[in-house]
Structure 1
Amino acid sequence: MIRLIRRLVRLVVPLPSDLKLAWSTIKGNRGGFGGSFIAIVAGSAVITACGILLLSGLGNGVTPERYSGAAVVLSAPQSFRLDESSEVRYSERVTLPADTVAAVAAVPGVRSAVGDVNVQLSMLSPDGDVVSGPRGFPVLGHGWSAAALTPFTVSRGRPPATPGDVVLDAGLAARGDVALDATVRISVGSIPASYRVVGIATAPDGLNRQSAVFFSDDQATKLSGRPDRVDAIGLLAAPGITPEQLAGRIRAAVPDVVVHTGAKRGDVEFLDVGDARSVVVETAASFGGTMVLIVVFVVASTLALSVRQRRRELAVLRAIGATPKQIHWMINAEMTLVSLTGALVGAIPGVALAFVMRGVFVLAGAMPPDFPMQVGVLPILAALVLCMISARFAGWLVARRVANVSPVEALGDAAIEPKKLGRVRLVIGVLLIPLGLLLTLGSVAAPGDSVADTAASAVLLFVVALGCLGPVLLNGALVLFGRLVNRRSTADGFLAQANARANWRRLSAATTPLAMGVTLAAVQVFGASTTIAAARHQLEDGLRADHALTASSGVGISPQVVDAVRRVPGVAVATPVARMRVLLTFPSEDSTATTVFAAQGVSPERLADTMELAVVQGDTAELRGETVALSRVVAETVSARVGGTTELHLGDGTTIRPRVVAIYENGLGFGDVTLPNDLVVAHTTARVHSAVLIRSAAGTDQEALGNALRAAVRPYPTVQVGDREAFLAAPGAGRSGDWILNLLFQTVLLGYIAIAVVNTLVMSTAARVREFAMLRLIGASRNQVRAMMNGEARIVVLGSLLFGALATIPPLIGFSLGLTRSPTPSISLTGVIAIVALTVALCRGAITMATRFAIRPAPIDAIGGRE
């Protein structure tokens, strides 16, 4: 490893003569600096990966396909801007007034302006199967005039002229085995209709992310359901006008539209790309910021440990005449060399980690499979700078004590460990404990949706308190539980307990980071399990329906289907459910805040027969017009009350101020915001329902009713009839792949902490070569030394689990109280066993490995060697 460092340093930063002394000290302390090097490599890899994701999210996106021939593409604002630097994407497509087409067509330099609509549809094969787009991407309908934006050309046949004509793109026609003049069934929503294929169209570069079906312009407008709106406007530039020039003129003449040129046109064409960009930027920035803090802390503490283990060497240097400035210079040079090489080496696995994280984003559905990654030099430079700064800062903190005392005092400090912690450190640690308890259990905690952020803040406070008070806590645990862990009647037990009591600060250097890892792991795992268990319980207990209708093609269920099943004998209640994400704006301190919540639209008639929301105030029967029901968590968050109003932004950007008619408890299971069904459907992109819940009349035979329902929906081939389990399994707002992303971030976070813990344990154990040699010279065998270290490992494991549990319990109780009103979080036995087993494996494995290395030399050689 040292040879690798040396070679990389010589390749990247040629060694000047003034750094040779620092390099010689690194070679002489390979164990300590090797551990620091590993910590920096891992930290650099994590920071580089987050930086690459952030850079990719801010990049150019996916190349446009249907808009590839347009010089400029115009859209409505698709995001709600929170402040100057952050925004939230709307979940549905935001449309433009149709008369905007004429307004932009009059701008000088515009050759033509074409309004485009997107109609979500399914094309059916003769067997009734859905013909999908390429690689599962959607099939969308458009007016024929929008074909000029690609431009499409009719390779066979003619353009559509009547409402019954369609033109298919060549790829879709091939996949569906559709010939010219054939009749195809196309289902918009869930209503099928027959069309005659009058043409086959081809695009210059083909379609890789969609399939296109072209109707006549009037028919496309009719099918969209919005005769006065368009999804986007494509502009063809006049001769001699560049896209940039035209974009500038449009911004000046029509300021209400958003202007897109180049690859940014793809964000308008593919909403999933823009959504993915927003998610990637937000999560990479948030998680990356957290990881930067942890990496800086771990790197600084690891380097500090490596320098602290050289107290004797630094004290001797002071005794033979080295000045404080020279000590600082030497340590700074060492930190620079180690951090520089470690950060550069870590960039290589960092790139690989970024692509692994990209794969998880794709698996979670938060990123399309063809989302491009941009590997640039900026993330590597950021990792390099952060690692070097943290390393230099750590070196300065540790060196200043030895450098600023007299040589005699330095030698005295090197001989024994300090027996007391600093007063400031103790005060900070003691004060953080009651502050954390107030955040989680007291009235200081903010109510509602912020309970998760409050619990996370409390965890950080407890983790920092552990870092400050770790040595004191371990010393107390040794007094209380030392004899239970190691019996003093045995030689190894006596040695382990005596050694731990004499060197409790050194032992705490291994116990504290492991306890921090236990705390973070337990809060992450059991916080997520508490949320998931509460949501599952609310959904399963609150769902009263006997049957559910879902859409097989994913394009939803049209309102006509609801009318059809309501006429089926034995159906008592049919409740359509539509979903979207909404934004709530509410007063927060001296300004306003906006938060995204999962919303559902339902019919209020006999709602409790199909869906029990557990209303605590008000009545959901009043859900008509511009009204809303809120979950208790959201009501507490936005300070809403029954009879009051709140500012709400629907999925398509429409702003309303609905009256609050009810507050309910089961928001985790069904969605935090409940609106009238017709209001939600009118503001979704496809104007369809996500599902229909059906409750049978008393005494109805369920099998017979199921058969009758299937007969009723037979004219709608994309609609399926299932039992209540079909609704429980169907994806919905707020029940996406978020848990996969959380698992990814938890794995990366805890994986890095595990590396840091093992690194610390190995460094602190391997540095005890002289101590083990002394024990062996006075008669201890190798097995007794190993047994003594096993005893110390038991102390470390016990302390880590004990302190981790003490720091975990208050945040979990507060989290559970705020979320479910129950003080009992969902703690699985499997999770507890996994955390305990991992803690034992990390501790025993690291200490055992380092002990074998430390006792390998002959005692007389180890005594005469370096410490």
Structure 2
Amino acid sequence: MLGLAWKTIKGRRGGFVAAFIAVFCGSAAVTASGILLESGFGGGVATERYAAAAVVVGADQSLPLPEDIDPAFGERVTLPASRVADVAKVPGVASAVGDIGFAANLVGPDRTVVAGPDGGAVLGHGWASAALGSFTLTPGGAPPRRGEIVLDADLAKRAGVAAGQTVELAVRSKPVRYRVSGTVSSSELRRQSAVFFDDDQARELAGRPDRVDAIGVLAQPGVDATVLAERISAAVPDVVAHTGRDRGDAEFLDVGQTRSFLAVVAGSFGGGMVMVVVFVVASTLGLSVQQRRRELALLRAIGATPRQIHRMIGAESLLVSCVAAVLGVLPGVLVAWVLRDAFAAAGTIPPDFELAIGPVPGLIGVVLCVAGARAAGYVAARRGATISPIDALGEAAVEPPGLSRGRLRTGWLLALGAVALATTLPLTIPGQAAVAGAASAALLLVIAVGLLGPRLLGGAIRTFAPLVSISSRASGFLAAANARANVRKLSTATTPLIMGVTMAAVQIFTVTTSSATALEQTEKGITADYVVTSSASGVSPEVADAVRDVPGVTAVTPVARTQVLVRYTEAGDAAAEPFTTQGIAADGLKGTLDLDVREGGLQDLKGDTVALSVSAAATIGVEIGETVDMHLGDGTAIKPRVIAVYGNGLGFGDITLPHNVVVDHTTHRLDAAVLVKAQPGADTALAGVIGQYPGAALADRAAFSAAQQRQIAGESTVNLIVNAVLLGYIAIAVVNTLVMATAARVREFALLRLIGANRGQVIRMMRAETGLVIVTSLVLGSLAAAPPLIGISLGLAESPLPAIPPLAVLGILAVAALLGWFSIMLPARLAMRPKPIDAIGIRE
């Protein structure tokens, strides 16, 4: 049977090209998502300051979950300083050095903060940690004493200072003068700059004298790093020992966060991608089999059994899909790198994050695509294999008039279920699950349209056909009649176009709705007159106290930001979810911030209390007075009591904690902003106070809202990047199926010309038919997108009206229309190049 299938493929190369392209591109997309998922576990960044350390010991930077991906903590999880001595006692350890890092703002000659390489961080450390990296003290320099610092050579060059000079440097306070005792050179610092202090002074400035960020281990000669790491893990409790490239995990906090991000994105994107790929491949193979009705009818008439038809089509789909899926793996690697670069350009992942590329993603992509194609081939062959030979010959000339009861029932059940899921779930079960359910309804509706396509398309064609006939009588009549006679084939060909409109609308307008809601909540929620922000690592905690003393200031609210992990039960199973969190002081809140409190009040927000957004409260399943099991940014476990539920979660974060609870458990213990309510005329005095803190800036409410809008737009870019791959694949599928369907009509066009129609008349008929098909597809695709968007808007904005920019609507419809138009008209023109008498003899 494989030999027969191979001969069929060689004899019908054009008929199998579309299936090949669908599987090839699907394999590339699935492989790319698999690589991102694998990188969520094995990707990383090479170490810089720990280059000389054989082993780097740190705390576990993620929350262990037994049956799920371990989510990363939002802040640095530190170790007790006593662990340094414990590690030093392990056999094979030459020395163990505790390392600490804190934000250090070096003030340049122009009173601006000098940043690290490419705008990276400038971090302060104790001088002892210099032994862990490839740092060389330049001639004439000396280790720092109290009141002195050593700068890395590149930082000193950017700041325009040399050994022996004095500089100003701020660590969570106003600038303090330090003498530069020397500089160190290092070729390893690519994403940060280092400032070394006297060890005792470094511990004081860090503010955590009894904690260390990590422990660098120098091994004795001849001791293998991997063996030493195993000894340390066995001898010292509650630590993680890193070797090789994994040492960067302990050095850079964003590595773990990037892994969690990639794992979550790839998991959700990959699942949806697989479903779309299977759907597109099934649609393409179904169209291919429909175009071979005459051949299959003849085979049945001369004695081929249903089993033989199934085996033949199965072998064909297997051969085509195997070759296409294997060839699609390499482009999948390239797609993964393109996505990585796009995420890095959007600021979501570090630019130097390296993907983990192994054989497993490609193998999974091949298996899924081949299995999907084989299953699609079986379904596509059912009609031709099970029908009687006599009926098969009849249907080879004329399409069957109706659909089976099972198909109709399944389609209507899916459609009704998707509409109910999209519109009622956000009303009955608010929270993230409701939004996700409404979004998933889009794919269910597309599948329902695929099943009910002939019925829906037939009804739409009957509605729009009179308009086509009026605009062009003869050509319009032929176009409408042809569309009605071949509605099943047209339905299969246009399903990807309908899916493209639906998916594009849902994906893009979900982003615009979320962004618009967040921006609206921010603009309405900030009632302060001024906002203090910082261009450096954060706002000094001293700023809030200093601003309170300014005459005319009536209220001051420092805001700290972090991410917490919340444990809760979902459908009887344990779950953990990261939530964006802010820490605020309740005093004076009425004059600076309005969170739209729905239940309870924020006046008692202190100690072990918490306020939740409506969405977070519904997702976690708690009410006023109940406690929430959560881990702060640095992993500290707390169980605060819920005292309020508020509406502005998208604009300010789903969880609000007391300010001191949040800021004391962040990596650098700095504020994100300070909200200020002041009387008219206080801006000059405020600017004078703010000017004492390098990097701090005073903005009014409008300027801050504009900055927030830019930040929200940047966050939305991530969703658009992921959706670009999905929509790109759907666009390829649209072109693929429409070209395939049109190119197969060579004999039809030739027959029309032989019975008297000229080439122009046939072209005009195709224009009318193309317009009819495109308008119908756009209408059906738009209608299918409506229920999910209504549900998503209800879940996000508590309104049935999503934020839909008119230009975006026109863009989606225009792109879909252009794809459909050129995918039909160009092949139609090419199909009419041969002479009619020659074309009529071309086999199907």
Question: Would you say same fold, with TM above 0.5?
Answer: yes
Pair 1:448-2:448 in alignment: no
Give how far 1:200 is off.
2.1
Kept in 1, the 8 Å contact 2:287–2:489? The answer is no
CA distance in 1, matches of 2:530, 2:468: 58
CA distance in 2, matches of 1:104, 1:93: 20
Deviations 1:192-231 (CA, angstroms, capped at 9, x unpaired): 111111122234x432222211111111111111112111
Deviations 1:55-87 (CA, angstroms, capped at 9, x unpaired): 444335222121122222111111113334401
Q: What is the aligned counterpart of 1:431 among 397, 409, 413? A: 413
Deviations 1:695-731 (CA, angstroms, capped at 9, x unpaired): 112xx23xxx222112112321221122123432446
Kept in 1, the 8 Å contact 2:134–2:188? The answer is no
Three-state SS of the structure 2 residue aligned to 1:569 is coil
Match of 2:69 in 1: 86
Match of 1:176 in 2: 159
Q: What is the aligned counterpart of 1:207 among 171, 189, 196? A: 189
Pair 1:710-2:687 in alignment: yes
Give how far 1:407 is off.
4.1
Match of 1:33 in 2: 16
Match of 1:352 in 2: 334
Pair 1:644-2:626 in alignment: yes
Give how far 1:45 is off.
2.5
1:260 counterpart letter in structure 2: H
Deviations 1:622-674 (CA, angstroms, capped at 9, x unpaired): 11112111111212222222222211221111111112121111111122111
Match of 1:486 in 2: 469
Q: RMSD of the TM alignment (CA)?
A: 2.3
Kept in 1, the 8 Å contact 2:55–2:217? The answer is yes
CA distance in 1, matches of 2:622, 2:616: 8
Give how far 1:354 is off.
2.4
Three-state SS of the structure 2 residue aligned to 1:595 is strand
Q: What is the aligned counterpart of 1:197 among 180, 185, 202? A: 180
Deviations 1:139-191 (CA, angstroms, capped at 9, x unpaired): 11111121222253433345545320212222322332321111121121353
Match of 2:531 in 1: 548
2:241 counterpart letter in structure 1: V
Give how far 1:597 is off.
1.4
Q: What is the aligned counterpart of 2:670 among 666, 669, 688? A: 688
1:496 counterpart letter in structure 2: A
CA distance in 2, matches of 1:459, 1:726: 38
Kept in 1, the 8 Å contact 2:431–2:795? The answer is yes
Kept in 2, the 8 Å contact 1:190–1:718? The answer is no
Higher mean C-alpha displacement, 740-749 vs 379-388: 379-388
Pair 1:468-2:451 in alignment: yes
- Summarize the Cα distance change of 1:845–1:766 in structure 2 as closer, same or farther, 3 Å threshold: same
Q: What is the aligned counterpart of 2:771 among 794, 810, 813? A: 794
Kept in 1, the 8 Å contact 2:519–2:709? The answer is no
CA distance in 1, matches of 2:35, 2:568: 34
CA distance in 2, matches of 1:253, 1:66: 25
Match of 1:495 in 2: 478
CA distance in 2, matches of 1:152, 1:489: 81
2:669 counterpart letter in structure 1: R
Q: How does 1:92-171 map to 2 (within 5 A)?
A: 92-157=75-140, 159-160=142-143, 162-171=145-154
1:516 counterpart letter in structure 2: M
Match of 1:851 in 2: 828
Higher mean C-alpha displacement, 33-42 vs 362-371: 33-42
Give how far 1:256 is off.
1.0
Pair 1:315-2:297 in alignment: yes
**Given the two structures, how large is their TM-score scaled by the length of structure 1?**
0.93
Three-state SS of the structure 1 residue aligned to 2:42 is coil
Give how far 1:514 is off.
1.6
Q: What is the aligned counterpart of 1:602 among 568, 580, 584? A: 584
Match of 1:236 in 2: 218
CA distance in 1, matches of 2:623, 2:27: 49
Kept in 2, the 8 Å contact 1:510–1:796? The answer is no
Match of 1:741 in 2: 718
CA distance in 1, matches of 2:285, 2:120: 50
Three-state SS of the structure 2 residue aligned to 1:842 is helix
**Given the two structures, how large is their TM-score scaled by the length of structure 2?**
0.95
Match of 1:773 in 2: 750
CA distance in 2, matches of 1:726, 1:227: 39
- Summarize the Cα distance change of 1:84–1:253 in structure 2 as closer, same or farther, 3 Å threshold: farther
- Summarize the Cα distance change of 1:336–1:461 in structure 2 as closer, same or farther, 3 Å threshold: closer
1:457 counterpart letter in structure 2: S
Higher mean C-alpha displacement, 750-759 vs 797-806: 797-806
Give how far 1:453 is off.
0.5
1:455 counterpart letter in structure 2: A
Kept in 2, the 8 Å contact 1:622–1:661? The answer is yes
Match of 1:5 in 2: none
Deviations 1:549-590 (CA, angstroms, capped at 9, x unpaired): 11122x111121111111111111121111111122222221
Match of 2:370 in 1: 388
- Summarize the Cα distance change of 1:505–1:391 in structure 2 as closer, same or farther, 3 Å threshold: same
- Summarize the Cα distance change of 1:753–1:207 in structure 2 as closer, same or farther, 3 Å threshold: same
CA distance in 2, matches of 1:804, 1:242: 61
Three-state SS of the structure 1 residue aligned to 2:77 is coil
Pair 1:562-2:516 in alignment: no
Kept in 1, the 8 Å contact 2:255–2:353? The answer is yes
Kept in 2, the 8 Å contact 1:450–1:637? The answer is yes
CA distance in 2, matches of 1:252, 1:398: 58
CA distance in 1, matches of 2:67, 2:218: 32
CA distance in 1, matches of 2:307, 2:442: 39
Higher mean C-alpha displacement, 97-106 vs 490-499: 97-106
Q: How does 1:389-408 map to 2 (within 5 A)?
A: 389-404=371-386, 407-408=389-390
Q: What is the aligned counterpart of 1:635 among 617, 638, 641? A: 617
Deviations 1:233-276 (CA, angstroms, capped at 9, x unpaired): 11222344322222222222223111211111111111122322
Kept in 2, the 8 Å contact 1:671–1:734? The answer is no
Gaps of 5+ in 1: 1-17
1:288 counterpart letter in structure 2: G
Give how far 1:749 is off.
1.1
CA distance in 2, matches of 1:489, 1:63: 67
Give how far 1:400 is off.
4.5
Q: What is the aligned counterpart of 2:270 among 275, 280, 288? A: 288
Three-state SS of the structure 1 residue aligned to 2:217 is strand
- Summarize the Cα distance change of 1:448–1:382 in structure 2 as closer, same or farther, 3 Å threshold: closer
Match of 2:797 in 1: 820
Give how far 1:324 is off.
5.0
Kept in 2, the 8 Å contact 1:534–1:668? The answer is yes
Kept in 1, the 8 Å contact 2:539–2:673? The answer is yes
Three-state SS of the structure 1 residue aligned to 2:215 is strand
Match of 1:7 in 2: none
CA distance in 2, matches of 1:158, 1:588: 60
Q: How does 1:4-23 map to 2 (within 5 A)?
A: 21-23=4-6
Higher mean C-alpha displacement, 410-419 vs 723-732: 723-732
Q: What is the aligned counterpart of 1:586 among 568, 572, 578? A: 568
Give how far 1:347 is off.
3.8
Pair 1:784-2:757 in alignment: no
Kept in 1, the 8 Å contact 2:104–2:195? The answer is no
2:410 counterpart letter in structure 1: I
Pair 1:187-2:187 in alignment: no
Three-state SS of the structure 1 residue aligned to 2:532 is strand
Pair 1:622-2:604 in alignment: yes
Give how far 1:138 is off.
1.3
CA distance in 2, matches of 1:717, 1:502: 75
CA distance in 2, matches of 1:29, 1:603: 73
Give how far 1:328 is off.
4.3
Kept in 1, the 8 Å contact 2:49–2:188? The answer is no
- Summarize the Cα distance change of 1:375–1:102 in structure 2 as closer, same or farther, 3 Å threshold: closer
Gaps of 5+ in 2: none
1:618 counterpart letter in structure 2: G
Higher mean C-alpha displacement, 724-733 vs 303-312: 724-733
Pair 1:831-2:808 in alignment: yes
Higher mean C-alpha displacement, 47-56 vs 610-619: 47-56
Kept in 2, the 8 Å contact 1:573–1:694? The answer is yes
Three-state SS of the structure 2 residue aligned to 1:227 is coil
